[in-house]
Amino acid sequence: MSKFKKKANTSQDIPTSALPDIIFMLLFFFMVTTVLREVTINVKQRIPEATQLRKLERKSLVSYLYVGEPKKTDQWGSEPRIQANDVFIEPKDVVLWVSQEKDKLNEVERDQITIALKVDKDAKRGLISDIELQLRKANARKLLYSTIQEVPQ
């Protein structure tokens, strides 16, 4: 029996001195990848899923429009609305908004502006096509429907 009772002389502690370093590494990763949200989104956003996603290379050329049912339905009603920056706009205001967004870009890059439409699943095509028509008028002709990657079943 005494054979089995013999204990090894080594310490059984797991060295934890590297733990802060590991945590710091995670911390730096999140600090670097974080994009603090600039606008508060006031519309419902259930983004549809798709498989054929394209990635935008130049983020500085992208401007976002959010479309969906307002979160505060008692104040804004339940019809889907368009949100640009922090305000609700009407389809006819899109041209003005695009020109403001274009002014933020370099002169040579202005025609490359991409509009990312973040549209709620339940929004209707009628409203979206009104926006598309205004975008055509504003000569912002690269359009991205934001979607998330569909997980294959």
Partner 1 sequence: MARNKGRKNPEINSSSMADIAFLLLIFFLVTTTIANDKGLLIPLPPDPDQMEDIDIKIPERNLFKIQINSADKMLVEGEPFTADTKEIKQMIKDFVNNNGRDPLSSDNPKKAIVSLKTDRGTTQAKFIEVLDNVQAAYYEMYADRAGVTNKQWRKIIDNLKEPDNKRLYDIGRGVKDGEVEFPMNISIAEPTKIGG
Residues near partner 1 (CB under 8 A) are: 16, 19-20, 23-24, 26-27, 30-31, 33-37, 47-57, 59, 62, 114, 116, 119-126, 128-129, 132-133, 135-137, 139-149
Distance in angstroms (rounded) separating the CA atoms of residues 69 and 85: 16
Q: How far is the CB of 87 from partner 1 (least distance, A)?
A: 21
Comparison of 1 and 106: residue with beta carbon closer to partner 1 = 106
Comparison of 84 and 119: residue with beta carbon closer to partner 1 = 119
Q: What do you get for the CA distance between the two ends of the chain, in Å?
A: 57
Q: How far is the CB of 151 from partner 1 (least distance, A)?
A: 14
Contact present, 138 and 101 (Cβ < 8 Å): no
Contact present, 82 and 45 (Cβ < 8 Å): no
Comparison of 4 and 30: residue with beta carbon closer to partner 1 = 30
Q: How far is the CB of 13 from partner 1 (least distance, A)?
A: 14
Comparison of 104 and 137: residue with beta carbon closer to partner 1 = 137
Q: How far is the CB of 58 from partner 1 (least distance, A)?
A: 10
> How distant, in Å, are the alpha carbons of 22, 36, 75, 88, 115 from that of 31?
14, 10, 36, 31, 27
